[in-house]
Structure 1
């Protein structure tokens, strides 16, 4: 029995080209996430797909029941893989994620998905606070351009800032190739 779970966070259609909330390098991130998913399936790690819906018909993206809220086919779940529906950035908040992980004896989490500056950050920090050993595959995550106080921040810088904040204190942050080679 494994003590590791791959958690795929919000790899949903609205984040891809043509979606309602396009992310920078989402195709590349999802390709890497698919490689990590294939590896987890091969090694027998637990796999959990997290899907976000924003419970409002006026939400800018991830509207309940919309095509954009669906998991992208690149990382589509197969029979036996867990699905968690969430309504907040933190994948643990008001979901059964922690109970599911605990009931399977999981102590190590591998996180991939989106957005780096929101749901990946919130989920990684919550997981570390709950005592999990967290690994974030940085190039299997994607970010979006941001701005603060009139200052634009390109997605690549947003991503780097959030990965640097997670690295060391909350998670081990590695790239896809390094993770696959190690494991």
Structure 2
């Protein structure tokens, strides 16, 4: 566990019901993420937050210096927890995240956050490509309904397809409670 960190991706206000881009199940997912954040802190697992920010305030969501771009109170970082600000979907692209993880001796990541089909997917795949072992707390992630070529895809189907794809790609999928129990034990 000494080489493990919890990566909290984009649990920001705009994804919640009063935000500009609400996700299906975000409140339940964020509650599970908050439980895992608390377990990580209690058990000495480093917590690293990622916050997406668009360069302009008028962006559809996560606009620069807007309340929607701020981390949601359920995932508020402690003063000593790093916050990596990103401007791309992939948390590793053009950020110091990989260097920060290497500096801390991290070889294994537990990932929580949003959106499953975008930033969680991109960070998980990048972490796997960079050689990190990745465990995804599948019940601590959220997405939204999508559509393609006239086909509506409910959020639950998007979530299931994404989790299956990430497991196939090499991530380990577990519920947040099981991960927290392992850390405590």
TM-score (norm 2): 0.96
Check if 1:93 corresponds to 2:122. Answer: no
Q: What aligned pairs does 1:34-183 form with structure 2 within 5 A after superposition?
A: 34-183=34-183
Residue 7 of structure 1 aligns to a residue whose secondary structure is strand
Answer whether contact 1:86 1:94 (CA < 8 A) is retained.
yes
Residue 181 of structure 2 aligns to a residue whose secondary structure is helix
Q: Which segments of 5 or more consecutive residues in structure 1 lack a partner in the other structure?
A: none
Q: Deviations over 1:142-175 (max 9, x none)?
A: 0011011111100010011000000143310111
TM-score (norm 1): 0.97
- In structure 2, how many angstroms separate the alpha carbons of the residues matched to 1:131 and 1:179? 21
Answer whether contact 1:2 1:46 (CA < 8 A) is retained.
no
Q: Deviations over 1:124-154 (max 9, x none)?
A: 0000000000000001000011011111100
Q: Which segments of 5 or more consecutive residues in structure 2 lack a partner in the other structure?
A: none
- Count of aligned pairs: 183
4+ long deviations beyond 4 Å: none
Answer whether contact 1:124 1:170 (CA < 8 A) is retained.
no
- In structure 2, how many angstroms separate the alpha carbons of the residues matched to 1:34 and 1:52? 18
Q: By how many angstroms is 1:46 displaced?
A: 1.2
Residue 19 of structure 1 aligns to a residue whose secondary structure is coil
Residue 131 of structure 1 aligns to a residue whose secondary structure is coil
Answer whether contact 2:116 2:159 (CA < 8 A) is retained.
yes
- In structure 1, how many angstroms separate the alpha carbons of the residues matched to 2:100 and 2:140? 23
- In structure 2, how many angstroms separate the alpha carbons of the residues matched to 1:159 and 1:35? 20
